[in-house]
Chains A and B, each alone.
Chain A
Amino acid sequence: MDGGQRRQSGICGMEEIIMADVFKGIEPMVYKSRISVPYHWWAGETASRFLIALRDERKILGTRCTGCGKTYLPPRKNCPSCFEAAMDWVECAREGTVLAFTVARRQLASLPRKVPVIFVLVRLDGADTALLHYLEGIDPGSVRISMRVAARFAQERGARMQDIECFVPKGE
């Protein structure tokens, strides 16, 4: 919840945002503050292995359920579909198919980069589920569902989702 500019906490008048006389004879007050709490998410065994493979081997690893055979990307430790505990590691292709897309055009507060930002759900060959990521190297108006794309790895990798820098149209 840490967007916008840093403001000092405290009570102040609201004249700048209130035109109407909401309160009769009382100056409307607002308490401006922010919530900023340090937090560490342990990635767990499964995501750690996935992220390390991205960083060190530039490989995209999924997990396949030993019960129903479904392959999850990003990998899951246990199968959410059939509730089987045992999963096998499988390497997925770097190429896949766009199942859904959008082009963010307003600079929404959550966006870490300048618009337009193209989000895609990509099902990589060998996986049964789709990965959420960016698409680049294409005119935003030309993106289509079912187009083929390929992962581009970042030069500097830090065991993060952004070790895949983005997806690009296949053949680029």
Chain B
Amino acid sequence: MDRAAIIGIGMTKIEARKVDMTFADMAFEAVRGALADAGMSIDDIDNVITTSNDFWDGRTISCMAVGDASGASDKNVSCVEGDGTFGAFYGLARTLSGSYGTTLVTGHSKGSQSVSSLITNAAFDPIYNRTLGADMITACALQANAYMARTGATAEQLARVSVKNHGNALLNPNAHLGMKLTVKDVLDSEMISDPLHRLDCSPVSDGCCAIIIADEKRAKKAKKQPVWIKGVGMCADAYFLGDRDLSRSESLVKAAKSAYAMAGISSPEKTIDIAEVYDAFSYQELMWLEGLGLCADGEAGAKLEKGEFDIAGSLPVNPSGGLLGGHAVIAAGLYRIAEVVRQVRGEAGKYQAKKADTGLAHGVNGLAGQSHCVWILGKDR
């Protein structure tokens, strides 16, 4: 394919309650940050994609309400409902179409303003499922049990993910929930829905992330070295939970394979230096790493225990603290992309991995990982 790169990133601090900011205030701050990072003005932006969810925002056509704050008022602006990685995929496609030299992509949400359980319950089919009252946590708890039963992953291993990522978040000034924890702290925390304790679950946070994607010609005009988009892949599984083998993620396997193929990567476990994956719940980091082919099926827990996924390990995973360190729904995957950009540039400060020439960012949309979007980003063109 033609080449495209990420040339600017902007992130608000992820927080429990941004009472001092509206949606538009957050978008404005993130977009200004991305423009400054790229050394550009809003006039250099050819088109805009905003990513949001109407239920989370409490208004219909929520994506358009942040258009002005995203500098889109006199531009071609389009919207994606879903995780920010999906919005970025659309933004990349628009850039590669040749019609736009630069595309600004934003993703925002404020989980603090509503009740997450009611919003995620509304994702279930209203005729067959919704009135039973399951939500995102209970759906993912079903998946966690199925995954643990099939692979033998243990509650201690899940807790260890939480310990690692909350610990990493302490090093990231943008993170919402940095904490020094022990495995015992996690296992002793309130059981919300077996096998998920409170500290196995990411917090619901507020935040906005923006990135600027550019074609090769425009990327060369950016202030910093472009971070090149080497490969992307997307795949969805069945909608109904009962149609899937919840203990596996076939859609992630397919999304990852297509991203690796585009990037010309044959041994991802050797090529990928760092990964930012969608750890909305502790078990997901292990399950997604296996689906991504970054370790063999059922072996992520043991590798985690050996410290291989620590910042100083052989494959740092979620050095930023991941979603467990701060989960602005919708924006979460876009934050993963921006964090990989930071790593590849060597700008991650206290949570910088030693080697980060090639990084992987991952986003999820839908109940219990229904669909996945995988990005391979690299230093070399």
Taking Cβ atoms with an 8 Å cutoff, the residues of A that contact B are 1-4, 14, 17-18, 22-23, 28, 30, 33, 35, 41, 43-44, 47, 51, 72-74, 80, 99-106, 108-113, 117, 119, 121, 123, 129-134, 140, 145, 160-162
State whether the Cβ of B265 lies closer than 8 Å to any Cβ in chain A: no
Check A1/B119 contact, CB under 8 A, given A99-B246, A113-B133, A117-B133.
yes
State whether the Cβ of B296 lies closer than 8 Å to any Cβ in chain A: no
Q: Using a CB-CB cutoff of 8 Å, which residues 126-157 of chain B contact chain A?
A: 126-129, 131-135, 137-138, 141-146, 149
Please, which residues of chain B bring their CB within 8 A of the CB of A161? 127-129, 131-132
Q: How far is the CA of A163 from the CA of B243 in the complex (A)?
A: 21
Q: What is the distance, in angstroms, from B141's C-beta to the closest C-beta of chain A?
A: 4
Please, which residues of chain A bring their CB within 8 A of the CB of B120? 110
Please, which residues of chain B bring their CB within 8 A of the CB of A103? 193-194
Please, which residues of chain A bring their CB within 8 A of the CB of B119? 1
Describe A's contact surface by its main secondary structure.
loop
State whether the Cβ of B122 lies closer than 8 Å to any Cβ in chain A: yes
Cβ-defined contact, B243 with A80, below 8 A: yes
Please, which residues of chain B bring their CB within 8 A of the CB of A2? 118
Cβ-defined contact, A41 with B114, below 8 A: no
Q: What is the distance, in angstroms, from B338's C-beta to the closest C-beta of chain A?
A: 25
Cβ-defined contact, A110 with B240, below 8 A: no
State whether the Cβ of B261 lies closer than 8 Å to any Cβ in chain A: no
Cβ-defined contact, A41 with B127, below 8 A: yes
Q: Using a CB-CB cutoff of 8 Å, which residues 239-267 of chain B contact chain A?
A: 239-243, 246-247
Cβ-defined contact, A119 with B115, below 8 A: no
Q: What is the distance, in angstroms, from A64's C-beta to the closest C-beta of chain B?
A: 14
Closest 10 CB pairs of A and B: A130-B242, A102-B141, A110-B121, A109-B117, A100-B146, A100-B142, A110-B135, A108-B117, A103-B194, A111-B133
Q: What is the distance, in angstroms, from B233's C-beta to the closest C-beta of chain A?
A: 21
Q: How far is the CA of A14 from the CA of B117 in the complex (A)?
A: 23
12 contacts between A and B (CB under 8 A): A74-B240, A100-B146, A106-B190, A106-B191, A112-B132, A119-B134, A129-B240, A130-B241, A132-B128, A132-B129, A134-B132, A145-B145
Check A102/B138 contact, CB under 8 A, given A74-B128, A161-B128.
yes
Q: What is the distance, in angstroms, from B271's C-beta to the closest C-beta of chain A?
A: 33
Cβ-defined contact, B118 with A1, below 8 A: yes
Q: Using a CB-CB cutoff of 8 Å, which residues 19-59 of chain B contact chain A?
A: 19-20, 55, 58
Cβ-defined contact, A112 with B131, below 8 A: yes
Please, which residues of chain A bring their CB within 8 A of the CB of B138? 102, 104, 108, 119
Cβ-defined contact, A43 with B127, below 8 A: yes
Please, which residues of chain B bring their CB within 8 A of the CB of A72? 243
Q: What is the distance, in angstroms, from B140's C-beta to the closest C-beta of chain A?
A: 9
Taking Cβ atoms with an 8 Å cutoff, the residues of B that contact A are 17, 19-20, 55, 58, 114-115, 117-122, 126-129, 131-135, 137-138, 141-146, 149, 190-196, 238-243, 246-247
Q: How far is the CA of A27 from the CA of B64 in the complex (A)?
A: 29
Please, which residues of chain B bring their CB within 8 A of the CB of A17? 17, 19
Q: How far is the CA of A41 from the CA of B127 in the complex (A)?
A: 7
Q: How far is the CA of A47 from the CA of B141 in the complex (A)?
A: 27
Check A162/B145 contact, CB under 8 A, given A1-B122, A22-B19, A102-B138.
no
Residue of A nearest to B17 (CB): A17
Please, which residues of chain B bring their CB within 8 A of the CB of A18? 19
Check A133/B132 contact, CB under 8 A, given A18-B19, A106-B193, A110-B118.
yes
Check A1/B193 contact, CB under 8 A, given A102-B138, A129-B240, A145-B145.
no
Please, which residues of chain B bring their CB within 8 A of the CB of A30? 19
Residue of B nearest to A2 (CB): B118
Cβ-defined contact, B132 with A80, below 8 A: no
Please, which residues of chain A bring their CB within 8 A of the CB of B241? 121, 130, 132
Q: How far is the CA of A118 from the CA of B103 in the complex (A)?
A: 46
Additional pairs, 9, CB under 8 Å, beyond known A1-B55, A100-B145, A130-B241: A4-B115, A17-B19, A18-B19, A105-B194, A106-B190, A110-B117, A129-B242, A140-B194, A162-B131
Q: What is the distance, in angstroms, from A114's C-beta to the closest C-beta of chain B?
A: 11
Check A22/B242 contact, CB under 8 A, given A41-B126, A133-B132.
no
Please, which residues of chain A bring their CB within 8 A of the CB of B137? 104, 108
Interface centre among A102, A134, A140 (most CB of B within 10 A): A102
Check A102/B194 contact, CB under 8 A, given A108-B138, A110-B135.
yes
Cβ-defined contact, B146 with A145, below 8 A: yes
Cβ-defined contact, B142 with A119, below 8 A: yes
